[in-house]
A and B are shown apart, each in its own frame.
Chain A
């Protein structure tokens, strides 16, 4: 045997799996369409449709809905990418690729990290592309707001990818994952404040939004968009510190859970 079994091996393994995620993604154009195209189309249709008829609670002025739904669309891009990336674990298992990785002399934590970092990289790449559409939405950007936004989105992506990994790891079929996606992940986005703020919602919806970790991630993103731009994205909701703490805790928790389930040996 040649090569080393030190910490560098560990990171090399993680980097190898990470790179594979990105290369595979770029070779599958349909995935780019699914993860980036779908949220953009929804945003344009709903945003343009409600453009002049959306009045947030407590305000007398009509708000440009394209601008309101812009950060929510960013969150949707992060979520869709996480879903499509982590679904590939099920495909890797079915196609046989995963068995080869499982008999390599690397811990399963490297597999989790490779997948989640790969997925988050793809999410950030697509979110960055979507940021070029900010002028269309009349959302002003500053260097500082973009930097802050990318940093927060990286943490949100890790959380969402971790959640996807945890769900996909023990699943036998992609059909099962689609069911989870429709019943759980989509509502998680719908009730994150992406389409409407919590303040105007019915009691129980407001409660769900209060315990929805993505709602905090999205609020943190809205805070970032306001940095040095006066975009006025945050009118209600939790403060920046609270949003960042919950978002970070969620990412750490999802990462730990994923590492834990992956290390369980059957």
Chain B
């Protein structure tokens, strides 16, 4: 019988000294879904990744994977799981094939089944011609492909990927997503990936928005976007704070300041744009109206843009 949920997380908290990296997180992930954990650096997603791969033991809370308590059944769970790291876990001095076979043996494979699995994986990821090439001679995109091939060698039911697109060009990035969709459709593989890229999250079945260690929203990309009322109006203004305050006074619509922009959500936004421009002549450098994106969803739930926090808060998760 298939597991009801592939991952169940209950009241998970992790601290590095005084810093809370993951804060009281409760979450369930259904089988055969591709889930993006979206958030800026320092939001706790790397810590979550480390806990889900068993590298880190959480300060508090429980994690069950395949309906098994991870802490107690670690080896069984790891045997059914594949992990793709941000920084490839390949041995550059070994060939593609050697990397796969040595890794396969760590997962209990040997002999003819091991060779067969390696050949299948090489074929699936278009690596058959490169099997005898040393990994340090391959491009970043190719190495990432070997990394994913390696992670799927033992036919895991769950893949956990840490920023799988980092350092890849758009073409290679799309290829990674294509492989994940393929694995989900053909083998019912569940994939959980961390990302800070909106377009990547948009191509997943479920998006979990993390901010400051908390899970602030979790749904399909469409559902998340539809939770935002109608359209999103973005106004470029020299003094965004003052404009936001006066917009609220004049039209009773809450407006938030994001960087040097004022942002508000409104049904039939295009009809409202002329009213704003007329109300504040000369104060508006530019105005745009559009359907909500995941960036808007992120701002809606967290009050700040995703890239605003990119540079800070990194130290908290790195100290592990």
Instruction: Report the Cα distance A100→B92, complex, angstroms.
Output: 13
| Interface hub of B79, B154, B157 (most chain A Cβ within 10 A) | B79
Instruction: Report the Cα distance A97→B85, complex, angstroms.
Output: 10
Contact flags B79-114 to A (C-beta < 8 A → 1, else 0):
111010101111111100010001111111110010
Chain B interface bracket (under 10, 10 to 19, 20 to 34, 35 or more) = 35 or more
Contacts of A97 in B (CB 8 A): 89-91
Contacts of A100 in B (CB 8 A): 83, 85, 89-90, 103, 150
Instruction: Report the Cα distance A9→B107, complex, angstroms.
Output: 7
Query: Is residue B226 contacting chain A, with contact meaning CB distance below 8 A?
Result: no
- B56 nearest in chain A by CB position: A266
Instruction: Report the Cα distance A24→B75, complex, angstroms.
Output: 28
Query: Is residue B25 contacting chain A, with contact meaning CB distance below 8 A?
Result: no
Query: Is residue A13 contacting chain B, with contact meaning CB distance below 8 A?
Result: yes
- B105 nearest in chain A by CB position: A16
Chain A interface bracket (under 10, 10 to 19, 20 to 34, 35 or more) = 20 to 34
- A3-B109, A16-B105 given; A105·B76 CB < 8 A: yes
Contact flags B144-166 to A (C-beta < 8 A → 1, else 0):
00000010001111000000000
Instruction: Report the Cα distance A106→B83, complex, angstroms.
Output: 15
Query: Is residue B276 contacting chain A, with contact meaning CB distance below 8 A?
Result: no
- A103-B55, A104-B106 given; A5·B79 CB < 8 A: yes
Contacts of A13 in B (CB 8 A): 105-106
Query: Is residue B9 contacting chain A, with contact meaning CB distance below 8 A?
Result: no
Q: How far is the CB of B15 from chain A (nearest CB, A)?
A: 13
- A3-B109, A103-B54 given; A95·B154 CB < 8 A: no
Q: How far is the CB of B201 from chain A (nearest CB, A)?
A: 24
Instruction: Report the Cα distance A166→B277, complex, angstroms.
Output: 69
Contacts of A106 in B (CB 8 A): 75, 106
Contacts of B94 in A (CB 8 A): 20, 23-24
- Quick one: which of B248-266 are within 8 Å of A by CB? none
Query: Is residue A15 contacting chain B, with contact meaning CB distance below 8 A?
Result: yes
Contacts from B to A (Cβ < 8 Å): 53-57, 74-76, 78-81, 83, 85, 87-94, 98, 102-110, 113, 117, 150, 154-157, 320
- With A105-B79, A105-B107 known, 11 other A-B pairs at CB within 8 A are A3-B79, A5-B75, A5-B79, A20-B94, A27-B93, A95-B91, A96-B87, A96-B88, A100-B85, A100-B90, A104-B103
